[in-house]
Structure 1
Amino acid sequence: MTSQPPEAGPARAAAARGTDARPTPPPLRALAEPVRGRLALATGLQAVAALAGVVPFIAVSRIAERLTAGSPAGGEALWPLVVLACSSGLVALVCGTAAGALAHIADNNLQLILRRRLARHVGRLPLGRLTDRGTGEVKQAVQDDVSALHTLFAHTLLDVVAVLTVPVPALAYLFTADWRLALVSVVPLLLGMFLFSRAMAGAAGQMAEFGAALGRISAAAVEFASGIAVFKSFGRGSKAHERFVRATEGFADFFSRWVRSTLVTSTAAILVVAPAVVLLLLSVPGAVFITQGWMTGAELVPFLLLGPAVAAPMGVVGPRIQQIRAGQAAAVRITALLRTPTLPEPADPALPDGHHVLLRGVSFSYDARADVLSGVDLDLAPGTVTALVGPSGSGKSTLASLLPRFHDVTAGAVTLGGVDLRDIPAAELYRRVGFVLQDVRLLRASVADNIRLGRPDATDEEVERCARAARIHDRIMDLPDGYATELGTAFTLSGGEAQRLSIARALLADAPVLVLDEATAYADPHSEALIQDALSELAAGRTLLVIAHRLSTIRSADRIVVLEDGRVTEQGRHDDLLAAQGRYAALWEAQRTAGPDESDGVPHHRSAPVEAGRRADDIREGSAR
């Protein structure tokens, strides 16, 4: 088959790029598009509620004027104003409640839409993209960032509409009452804006440092929690928390400097728009106006009622700006994750004919950096065992990850049954290629559902048969509810038990091609013996690609491939490679002199699962029945 780069062909190139030449709207606006109409209606209702909320204050001031003027109409002249005040208050209550409910409904729908989009998108990302960067980014987007958008759309948006709407009719009415005192009521607003802008000078850089400092605290906390046992075991428990303490002290120093630099101006900005200060500022000239006969006491009432509302926006602008910025940052992170290129699906799907695996001219690099693999050619014949060995960082795990398509090659091709992996539908590929890794991930679901992950329609008998073959059935039966026990709650499995459960999962999936990262590297002696037995069952009759750490476990492999700096430097059988006195022989001698196989407490009397790959038993047939 002719090797071709992943971008060969227009369809594949478009899929690989995953970009659109058309201009895109800002992330926040783009994410809110599905509920934009409902949010617009909610903000309109909130504006009506804010306007209606001003009317009762105006009505009360008019009532005060008529009462002090001694109106000859008596109480009859007041009832229209009372009705207006009550009806306006009712309108404000109804519209405000409706706006809040509608905003929350729209936000709830948006959260559902975004989480579904994220789940679908993450499910189509290359598996290597997730294993390389971990799940923290996904968790932040799906949970934390979507929650930040909730605060913005369900609360902050309506609050901003209210504080920006109320001053307009309030100030307009005050100017009709007395333009001189109305100008005085504008002073706190203008002064607050000036002081707040001074306090916020350079805030962008400070906020960046604020986020970085919090990130350092978070990283140090994780390190503290995960590493304290190691420190304590060496009698250095007091050292375990040093980095965490330094991070928190650094944050405290930075935050103290920031607060001190803005304390005077930010405090002054808050004080000048405080209701008590505004009332005092209006009362003093109002008293002068009254004593001079320029206005009556009743005419001062609307300024005392509505004056604080004019300066109100500056009193809440700080927290609202922070919430808006948090929402914008969350939208950027969500959009970045949604724009991460997914695993391209083939334009013209093809099904493999058999399970022969070929790698031809394969090169690979992460994010256009230097090649991790270069010019790799391999032949994995059906039913054979191929072992990858080499020093740390030689590219073993990267090469193995290409077979289950955790990544796509940057040059060359990997074929299965004569078909490029990129042309095989993902669901079809994973029915043919399975993998067992050292780092086992179990779902928060029942034991049976965890085993059924590869074959959801499997019967209970098939699940139990594979669990027995994986040497985990007895441990499952010791759980309170057996196979129905939910993992991830009150019950967890040890590392070795989780590894055996993952082997049962792979047995049930029954993929004819298997990628195996040596699963016993960190197991205790008892668990290792059981895992080796389970791997023997799993490997029987399958095409195996093994990442080998202990060379003693792959002596019987059909082919041993030595990788150095991403290139194949040797390949052949164990005895032939020893006779060649090359890199493999040096690695073998280094491990042999470091200690015999029994030095780790486990007598490796057989090279499982390699020996299992040399014999075909009835496990596959039993699983298929």
Structure 2
Amino acid sequence: MSQATGHGATKRTTSSGGGMHGPGMSAAVEKPDNFNEIMGKLVAYCKRYAPAMIVALILGALSTVFQVVGPDQLKNMTNEITKGLPAMVQGKPVLGSIDLDAVTRIGLILVALYVGYALFSYVQSWIMATITQRVAQRLRDDISKKINRLPLKYFDKVSYGDVLSRITNDVDAIGQTLGQSLGSLVTSVTLLVGSLVMMFYNNVIMTLTALGISFVGMVLMMVIMKLSQRYFVQQQLALGQTNGHVEEMYSGHMIVKAYSGEQESIEQFEKYNTSLYESGWKSQFLSGLMMPLMNFIGNLGYVGVCVVGAALAMNGSIEFGVIVAFMMYIRLFTQPLSQFAQAFQNLQRCAAASERVFGFLEEDEMSADAEGAFASKRMEIARRSNSAEVEAYAKLGDRARGDVEFNHVKFGYTPEKMVIKDFSAQIKAGQKIAIVGPTGAGKTTMVNLLMRFYDLNGGEISIDGVPTTSIPRSEVHRQFSMVLQDTWVFDGSIRENIVYATPNVSDEQVCEACRSVGLSKFIESLPEGYDTKLDDKSSLSAGQKQLLTIARAMIQDAPILILDEATSSVDTRTEELIQQAMDQLTVGRTSFVIAHRLSTIKNADMILVMNEGDIIERGTHEELLAANGFYADLYNSQFSTLVA
């Protein structure tokens, strides 16, 4: 977002500070989470995968049924084996006989059941893993596209690190939860119901004993879940704050060092880190209680079943195999309870992450692009047979002439404070327009409005007589080349950085652009020349990066050129070379030059002097000096400073 220099970028830095103080964050902390509503959004988002998920859940349920039937068959095998144990007949032990065929048959049934259980579980896990990763991939794609549709004012209040946290940590949390918890919930329900049915089928008294003991565990589990839910929400928020702070401090590392702000930065980080530690510790501790608690309930159930089962066996009410089956059913019955607890804890974490992700996806976007409006306007003009307007629209579809008009433009980053109050200007194609004024006068803001990075509060901006609001943003952007104060170099070769998104660029054009800005000798001195990779380890100076971005603008060859302090990072000699190249570049193009060094814009066709959002003077350099007004004061103050 390098274009958001000036007021917008300053506001973002101050509002986000060391991490996340934006309005969105404070609201998220204060308001209670609507778990059902958030999970409903997630379910609706995943509805395209519903058929595959249903198949996976059915397979999971079938595998659980096989698992539940196993202990009942094991009971039958146990009873067959006990028939062969010695029995007392008239005071003498008598050996019984074991039906080996029956035992073998039951054993084969058990093998088939457990093989089916393993196979269906594997297929279910494979399907769910595929679905969850698809969901995560789609979420990341939607967030990436959403970033391009958000107005810059969103990033004025939210740190970049927090946005990165949503596309990484929060999306990963959603994907992992869906993969681990959704299938687990279905199998747990099936296992719980199936175990309960089989327990009642075998013995009612022992089942009621197990239920009474398990009820205590369920009550404790619900209490713990209620306590831990808020800590999972706080953990995700604290994670976003921490990431936001780290991203900002890392990107501004040199400033932190230069101003000895390390201690303050560390203290702020420790504040966020402590918040993350406390919320993470509490949520993990409480969720960690689930497994020991349910193990305790399970072991207590063993004791209860053994005592009651022994009494019933002594009375001859049940066979020994029933006790063996119940020992397994107790484990199968209590296991879903702990799985429920773990799954719901994960779902709470998923809800916290989903709230942040869907909150981001539901943010207000820029006004709808004008594809349809543009096409209908052209048809309307064609019907009126106004050839001039038809020609203007036709050229905008390819390459604009470069006539630009600001008509009573009004704009404010916040509705209560207008930065641009009433700006009007007419610029003819090919003119070089310099915009000067004190810091905060609205110079860079005007450029951002011209590029449609922000929507106007009033008035209109036109290119070749066509309002920019009636043109798709992509078409507006295609008419401009920009060189900003803040350079932007991405991970790639020097050639790729210069060409960027411009198609069909020859190597000769790249070399010529670099020669024009005086960068070719340096590039050719590198071992790999134009194929040298630029990354974090690259040793390009600030001036060299600025030259590279100027060469990029030359390659784009757009009809309108914007130079926002383009020579601010270069020395005087390099500045002279760039000025010569820029003089060539601006020939036949409409140029907007924002400059603080007024000596660099003497040859401008028109100088617009701005102060407090309005044009207070306009004219050539000589005309403004002769007027002896605000511009003359600015120029003379710079000249006197240089002389001093």
TM range (shorter): 0.7 to 0.9
2:92 pairs with 1:78 = no
Deviates more, 1:310-319 or 1:285-294: 285-294
Going from structure 1 to structure 2, the CA distance change for 1:268 and 1:504 (only over 3 Å counts) comes to closer
CA distance in 2, matches of 1:503, 1:223: 26
Listed one character per residue, the Cα deviations across residues 233-273 of structure 1 (whole Å, up to 9, x for unaligned) are 566765652332344345556667x579x86x974884244
State how many pairs are aligned.
572
Going from structure 1 to structure 2, the CA distance change for 1:205 and 1:391 (only over 3 Å counts) comes to farther
2:220 pairs with 1:195 = yes
2:67 pairs with 1:53 = yes
Q: How does 1:455-534 map to 2 (within 5 A)?
A: 455-488=502-535, 491=538, 493-523=540-570, 532=579, 534=581
Going from structure 1 to structure 2, the CA distance change for 1:215 and 1:118 (only over 3 Å counts) comes to closer
Q: How does 1:35-434 map to 2 (within 5 A)?
A: 35-70=49-84, 74-123=99-148, 136=161, 139-201=164-226, 203-222=228-247, 224-226=249-251, 229-230=254-255, 232-233=257-258, 241-249=266-274, 251-252=276-277, 258=282, 267=289, 270-274=292-296, 275-291=298-314, 294-339=317-362, 340-342=364-366, 343-347=368-372, 348-349=374-375, 350-351=393-394, 352=396, 354-366=401-413, 368-434=415-481
Of 524, 547, 562, the residue aligned with 2:594 is: 547
Listed one character per residue, the Cα deviations across residues 280-300 of structure 1 (whole Å, up to 9, x for unaligned) are 443344344445655443221
2:620 aligns to what? Answer: 573
How big is the shift at 1:357? 0.4
C-alpha contact (below 8 Å) 2:236/2:352 kept by paired residues: no
State the secondary structure of the residue aligned to 2:226: coil
How big is the shift at 1:124? 5.2
Deviates more, 1:180-189 or 1:160-169: 180-189
Listed one character per residue, the Cα deviations across residues 361-394 of structure 1 (whole Å, up to 9, x for unaligned) are 1122346553332221011222222222333333
State the secondary structure of the residue aligned to 1:596: helix
1:11 aligns to what? Answer: none
CA distance in 1, matches of 2:402, 2:210: 82
Q: State TM-score, norm by structure 2.
A: 0.78
Structure 1 unaligned runs (5+)? 1-22, 600-625
CA distance in 2, matches of 1:159, 1:477: 60
CA distance in 1, matches of 2:52, 2:248: 45
Q: State TM-score, norm by structure 1.
A: 0.80
Deviates more, 1:267-276 or 1:348-357: 267-276
Q: 1:244 is matched by which residue type in structure 2?
A: F
State the secondary structure of the residue aligned to 2:547: helix
Going from structure 1 to structure 2, the CA distance change for 1:316 and 1:135 (only over 3 Å counts) comes to same
How big is the shift at 1:517? 1.1
Q: 1:496 is matched by which residue type in structure 2?
A: G
How big is the shift at 1:481? 2.8
How big is the shift at 1:331? 4.0
C-alpha contact (below 8 Å) 1:503/1:538 kept by paired residues: no
How big is the shift at 1:85? 1.1
2:17 aligns to what? Answer: none
How big is the shift at 1:74? 0.7
CA distance in 1, matches of 2:280, 2:193: 37
| Aligned residues: CA RMSD | 3.5
Going from structure 1 to structure 2, the CA distance change for 1:184 and 1:395 (only over 3 Å counts) comes to farther
2:490 aligns to what? Answer: 443
State the secondary structure of the residue aligned to 1:557: coil
CA distance in 2, matches of 1:131, 1:449: 30
1:596 aligns to what? Answer: 642
How big is the shift at 1:459? 1.5
Going from structure 1 to structure 2, the CA distance change for 1:188 and 1:412 (only over 3 Å counts) comes to farther
Deviates more, 1:204-213 or 1:180-189: 204-213
Q: 1:52 is matched by which residue type in structure 2?
A: F
Going from structure 1 to structure 2, the CA distance change for 1:489 and 1:162 (only over 3 Å counts) comes to farther
Q: 1:179 is matched by which residue type in structure 2?
A: V
CA distance in 1, matches of 2:259, 2:479: 47
2:93 aligns to what? Answer: none
CA distance in 1, matches of 2:279, 2:180: 30
Deviates more, 1:127-136 or 1:152-161: 127-136
Going from structure 1 to structure 2, the CA distance change for 1:557 and 1:139 (only over 3 Å counts) comes to same
Structure 2 unaligned runs (5+)? 1-36, 85-95, 376-392
CA distance in 1, matches of 2:117, 2:258: 65
How big is the shift at 1:486? 3.5
